[in-house]
């Protein structure tokens, strides 16, 4: 398990009994307890043995986290009109600033702790304001996800797990660790934080090429001298604008929410499957709040086989601890089901006795799709099923889908003279776009003798000649059966011998032998009809 830089509360969810009372944070009800509570100074890196200690020990002095962030600023200030423009943009949107700063309260302490442990500038704790407005559920049109906005490929590079159960690009702990690893590597590569930030936004390869162009032209290679897209050109000024606001919010007519300088959450783990709703209930936590801290879980059940890291608010951790110990209900109401054959969701739902709409919603199966054999889906657990989902399914389960279209057979046709792609598409009842897609071409022109691929529904009659010369067909997923006019007696892909077509004598040869030469078109047409 990854070493946690937040507090780690290790709980094993074994057989438990009856829902008990919810424990409250002592700071919430008793002023003296609150004073004692805030004076304690347990390290956020400490592991708490709940048999001997309490999660109430995980507090530090009541100081403002914004002040701590300001003290950690290390980057030189960027002076430019773009900075002023970005600061003005934020100043004109106080509601937006309030929403994203309040959202950041859950995560800022952990990120600052991580930065300080790595001796990195705390300006980087402000970067998720730029990337995602501190929303770990954010998803860009380019498929970048999480508050640090990792693309799928970059996430794989930094070992962020992404499967049917979880997307660690959204995980608060994992994505933060990966983002700081990446930023640190970029700083080592370029030797400058502004350039590292530009590379984080634009890509290190693009930035290297921009630097090389300036070097070749004898130009400076600092951030403000490089040619780059507008998004990257405004990226560092946005961060500087947020830094300026944090330094002096009153100057911009803004107010920052007070954020205590202690951990917002602790981390728990479990060896048993547990529903997201059950975990939230045991923590006495609204479901939306639970999901905001645990946005990486993409199914309604959290798998114990993966040693999950479940974040709970600092003030609710002891509630979870006490309620769990006396809980005798079912921890998980979901299990995994493996699809054995290609099938529609409705057919699977009927087979196992569940509601089709529920099945599609839980597994995020779009309408008009069917499941491929070997797919894993989440289904309601039966009353007599108390077995958790296996580690193999947790690690390797996949949901594979395909469009729910009629079974097709593949045909290879040879284009005749004076035939167009539009004519071929019309003849076989397909679209030009489909023809282009099947043949991986953008061209609208076809040439005589060219071989084209098309797919027609099984059972649909193939147009009779005259028309394109069909040289092969196969049912989708099967072998191609050769039926060419020019096989020369070669075996088909199924090993069957195709009789060679006797060559017709030319007119000149026929004259010498006294025989009549058959017209080429008539001969070809007769042969085609036999096929």
- Catalytically active residues are 131
Residue with tokens 């890291």: 309
Dmax (CA) for the chain in angstroms is 122
Alpha carbon distance 400, 525 (integer Å): 45
Alpha carbon distance 126, 40 (integer Å): 28
DSSP three-state, residue 505: coil
Q: Roughly what angle, to the nearest 10 degrees, separates helices 172-190 and 204-216?
A: 20
Q: Which helix (H) or strand (E) holds 269?
A: strand 265-269
DSSP assigned state of 199: H
Give CA separation, 10 vs 219, 309, 355, in Å: 56, 10, 37
Beta-sheet pairing, 408-414 with 451-457: antiparallel
Residue with tokens 């934020």: 90
Give CA separation, 488 vs 251, 278, 491, 500, 531, in Å: 87, 70, 9, 5, 14
Hey, what are 137's tokens? 């559920």
- Are 73 and 120 a contacting pair, CB within 8 Å? no
Hey, what are 470's tokens? 């069909």
Alpha carbon distance 335, 352 (integer Å): 12
Burial class (CB in 10 A: 0-12, 13-18, 19+), 3: exposed
Hey, what are 494's tokens? 């199924």
Q: Which helix (H) or strand (E) holds 526?
A: helix 520-530
């Amino acid at each position: 398990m990854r070493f946690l830089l937040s507090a780690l509360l290790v709980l094993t969810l074994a057989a438990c009994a009856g829902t008990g009372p919810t424990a409250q944070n002592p700071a919430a009800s008793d002023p003296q307890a609150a004073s004692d509570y805030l004076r304690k100074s347990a390290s956020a890196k400490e592991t708490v043995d709940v048999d001997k200690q309490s999660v109430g020990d995980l507090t530090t002095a009541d100081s403002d986290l914004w002040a701590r962030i300001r003290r950690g600023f290390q980057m030189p200030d960027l002076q430019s009109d773009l900075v002023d423009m970005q600061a003005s943009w934020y100043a004109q949107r106080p509601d937006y600033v309030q929403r994203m700063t309040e959202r950041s309260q859950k995560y800022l302490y952990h990120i600052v702790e991580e930065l300080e442990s790595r001796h990195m500038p705390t300006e980087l704790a402000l970067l998720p304001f730029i990337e995602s407005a501190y929303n770990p559920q954010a998803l860009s049109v380019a498929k970048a996800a999480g508050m640090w906005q990792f693309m799928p490929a970059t996430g794989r590079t930094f070992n962020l797990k992404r499967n049917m159960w979880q997307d660690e690009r959204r995980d608060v702990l994992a994505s933060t660790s990966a983002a700081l690893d990446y930023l640190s590597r970029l700083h080592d590569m370029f030797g400058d934080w502004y350039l590292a930030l530009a590379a984080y936004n634009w890509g290190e390869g693009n930035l290297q090429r921009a630097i090389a162009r300036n070097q070749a032209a004898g130009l400076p290679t600092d951030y403000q001298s490089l040619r780059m897209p507008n998004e990257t050109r405004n990226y560092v000024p946005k961060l500087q604008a947020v830094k300026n606001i944090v330094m002096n919010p009153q100057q911009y007519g803004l107010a920052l929410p007070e954020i205590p300088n202690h951990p917002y959450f602790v981390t728990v783990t479990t060896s048993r499957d547990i529903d997201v709703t059950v975990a939230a209930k045991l923590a006495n936590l609204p479901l939306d709040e639970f999901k905001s801290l645990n946005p990486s879980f993409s199914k309604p059940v959290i798998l114990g086989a993966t040693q999950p890291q479940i974040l709970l608010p600092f003030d609710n951790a002891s509630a979870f601890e006490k309620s769990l110990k006396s809980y005798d209900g079912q921890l998980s109401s979901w299990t995994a089901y493996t699809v054995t054959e290609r099938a529609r969701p409705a057919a699977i739902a009927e087979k196992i006795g569940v509601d089709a709409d529920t099945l599609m919603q839980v597994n995020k199966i779009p309408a008009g799709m069917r499941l491929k054999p070997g797919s894993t889906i989440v289904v309601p657990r039966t009353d007599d099923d108390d077995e958790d989902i296996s580690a193999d399914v947790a690690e390797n389960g996949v949901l594979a889908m395909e469009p729910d279209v009629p079974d097709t057979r593949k045909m290879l046709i040879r284009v005749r003279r004076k035939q167009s792609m539009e004519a071929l598409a019309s003849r076989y009842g397909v679209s030009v776009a489909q023809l282009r897609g099947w043949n991986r071409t953008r061209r609208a022109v076809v040439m005589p003798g060219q071989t084209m691929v098309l797919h027609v529904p099984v059972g649909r009659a193939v147009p009779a000649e005259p028309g394109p010369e069909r040289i092969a067909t196969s049912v989708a997923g099967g072998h191609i059966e050769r039926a060419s006019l020019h096989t020369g007696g070669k075996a088909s892909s199924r090993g069957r011998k195709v009789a060679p077509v006797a060559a017709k004598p030319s007119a000149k040869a026929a004259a010498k032998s006294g025989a009549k030469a058959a017209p080429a078109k008539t001969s070809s047409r007769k042969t085609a009809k036999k096929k």
